[in-house]
Each structure stands twice: as C-alpha cells, then as structure tokens.
Homo-oligomer: A and B are copies of this chain.
Amino acid sequence: MNDELVLDMNVCLPLRDVVFHTLREAILRGDLKPGERLMELQLASRLGVSRTPIREAIRMLEQEGLAVTVPRRGAHVAKMTLKSMEDVLEIRETLDEFAVKMACERISPEQLKRLRRIKDHFEACTRTGDVKKLAEADVSFHDAIYEATGNPRLVGILNNLREQVYRYRVEYLKNPDNYPVLIREHKAIVEGLEEKNPEKAIQAMHEHVENQAAAVKAIIQMQT
C-alpha cells in the first residue's frame, strides 16, 4: 500500500481525465491488483481530490473493461481469468490480422519508413535489455501498423484489447530467449508491408500474435 499513486498535476486536463489515466496506469502496471477494491473516499484522499472526479474516472474504467462495479458495493479492478484472456486474445488475433491487411493497402511511404525505424529501434532495445523501453518499442511498432489502417475506430479497439494483456505481455518481453523470434517476426511483417503482399503480412502477423498468445496463456497458468 505504498503511495505509487500520485497525480501528474502539470497536465491541464480535467481532473477526471488525469485520475482516469493515473488509475489505468496503476492497473496496467499491476500496482492496483485484479480484484482490489476501488474505494472512492480512499482514492480521493490518496490522490488529493474529491470523490467526483474519482467517480467519473471509475465510470470510464468500467466502460473500458478495466473495472467492474456492483451497485451499492462499489468498484474493483477487473479480474483476469484465463478464459477472459483467451477471449481477448482471439479477438486480437482476428483484428491484428485485419489491421495488417488494411495497412498493406493503405500504408504511405512515410509511414512505412517510420515503421522500419521503429523496427530497428526495437532491435536495438533487445540489445540493451531495457525491458521498459522494449515494451514501449513493441507498442510503437504495432501502433504504427494500426495507424496505417487509417481507421481510428480500429485503432481504439486494438489499443483497448492490448491494454487487457499488457501485464502479461511485459512478462513475455522479460525473457531474452524470445528476442530472436520477435525480431524475425517483426521483420517478416515489415517485409509483407513493403512488398504490399497481404498474404505474407497476414501470415507473419498470425504467427506473431499466436506466439504471443501462447506465451501469455502459459504465463497466466504459471501464476495459478
């Protein structure tokens, strides 16, 4: 119960948004654990705000699937069962393949250039062994593909789905044994996009997400 929970007051957004982002980060980082109660008064005093922005942030987390509220009994961090994780992962597989297919048709030369740079940066990060940076680079890589679809709604859904598995994804990235595979997969995906070859890109993405899905499931089962 150490105070990892501090608001970034330098941002001039409504407090509800600052609280929302703070709580989301805390949940994804694991500072707020699945099942942990989100008590308004407690959070309000910890973050130094009133209950109102807390409540609104909870409503937002609820719609994102990161929190669950039971009427008259308050909210808690959503629990992640193996089943619900599998549910998320199978949707992600479908949409990630769709995204790379669309990106194949729509990606611009500049976006492709940027994607190559991000891919190289990811490789560089595997050599430093900085897991945090690596995770960021991985997120950037997929974001670059999402953006190239030109479909903001799809970007939103995929980001939300990624959120759900974020914690376990980080575990996967902690094991350097996976790095060569990841680099090879990223390379194949980029090649597919460069060649405007949807079949290749989809196939590469399929293997990529399937490997990650298997790893994530293994990690979850280990934890139980």
- Identify the A interface with B (CB < 8 A): 13-14, 16-17, 52, 55-56, 59-60, 62-65, 71-72, 84, 87-88, 90-91, 94-95, 98, 102, 151-154, 156-157
Can you report 18 A-B residue pairs in the complex whose CB atoms are below 8 A from each other?
A: A14-B71, A17-B71, A55-B56, A59-B59, A59-B63, A60-B63, A63-B63, A65-B153, A65-B156, A84-B152, A84-B153, A87-B152, A90-B151, A91-B153, A91-B154, A91-B157, A94-B94, A94-B95
Tell me how many chains of this kind the complex includes: 2
Residues from chain B with Cβ under 8 Å of A95 in the complex: 91, 94-95
Residues from chain B with Cβ under 8 Å of A16 in the complex: 59
Q: Are B13 and A87 in contact (CB under 8 A)?
A: no
Q: Which residue of B lies closest to A69 (CB)?
A: B14
Main secondary structure of the interface of A (DSSP, over half): helix
Alpha-carbon gap, A55 to B14, bound state (A): 13
Q: Which residue of B lies closest to A13 (CB)?
A: B71
Q: Are B154 and A157 in contact (CB under 8 A)?
A: no
Residues from chain B with Cβ under 8 Å of A156 in the complex: 65
* Distance of A100 from chain B, by nearest CB (Å): 12
Q: Which of A13, A56, A59, A98 has the most CB of B within 10 A?
A: A59
CB-based closest 6 A-B pairs: A63-B63, A59-B59, A87-B153, A94-B98, A87-B151, A56-B59
Q: Which of A63, A72, A88, A154 has the most CB of B within 10 A?
A: A63
Residues from chain B with Cβ under 8 Å of A59 in the complex: 16, 56, 59-60, 63
Q: Which residue of B lies closest to A160 (CB)?
A: B157
* Distance of A147 from chain B, by nearest CB (Å): 13
Alpha-carbon gap, A55 to B154, bound state (A): 27
Residues from chain B with Cβ under 8 Å of A153 in the complex: 65, 84, 87-88, 91
Other 10 A-B pairs with CB < 8 A, given A87-B152, A90-B151, A94-B94 = A14-B72, A17-B71, A52-B52, A59-B59, A84-B152, A87-B153, A87-B154, A90-B102, A90-B154, A94-B98
* Distance of A49 from chain B, by nearest CB (Å): 15
